[in-house]
A = this chain, B = another copy of it.
């Protein structure tokens, strides 16, 4: 079997655990000598396809979520500001991320949009926040806003989501190394161990 050449990272900025994982994954990939491929997908679509649901849909889990996230942020020494707009509609951000990919700014946009949402608590469904984020990674906001509406971009997001589900995903973040799937920020230690043994 050929060695998988990349670590695929399916991300959705609506997911706080994806933000946390994103702050660690580049260093992990680098240390493991594997290239990282950022792949936007729509977590809401994954939930719909699999019958899974967001943690906050169980009231007791929702109450625990905030404290848990603060603990991880503290452990990782990264900022966390819970957005008033939670849970976010992330579809526009994800389409913008796919547009950014076309200019090789996919990872930069991903980092920036998650930092805006989870590090600063900004509303990523706000067109002004999207525009500012696009500009921050060197893209022209109006061009992005227009290209986001292309059927090709909408189809690509759906295709990424469908692909992740077909490969076994049911939540976010989801990582793949070939067929091996890892779900959750809390599985980074297992992913690291797997990459070191491969």
> What is A's interface to B at a CB cutoff of 8 Å?
50-52, 58-61, 63-64, 67-68, 71-72, 74-75, 165, 168-171, 180-181, 183-184, 186-187, 189-190, 193-194
Contacts and interface: CB of A to CB of B under 8 A. Distances in A.
Given A52-B61, A186-B187, 12 more contacts: A50-B58, A50-B59, A51-B58, A52-B60, A60-B168, A61-B170, A61-B171, A64-B181, A68-B187, A71-B190, A74-B193, A75-B190
Nearest to A49: B60
A86 to B, nearest CB: 19
Contacts of A52: 58, 60-61
Contacts of A165: 60
A168 to B, nearest CB: 6
Of A50, A61, A74, A165, which is in contact with the most chain B CB atoms at under 10 Å from its CB? A61
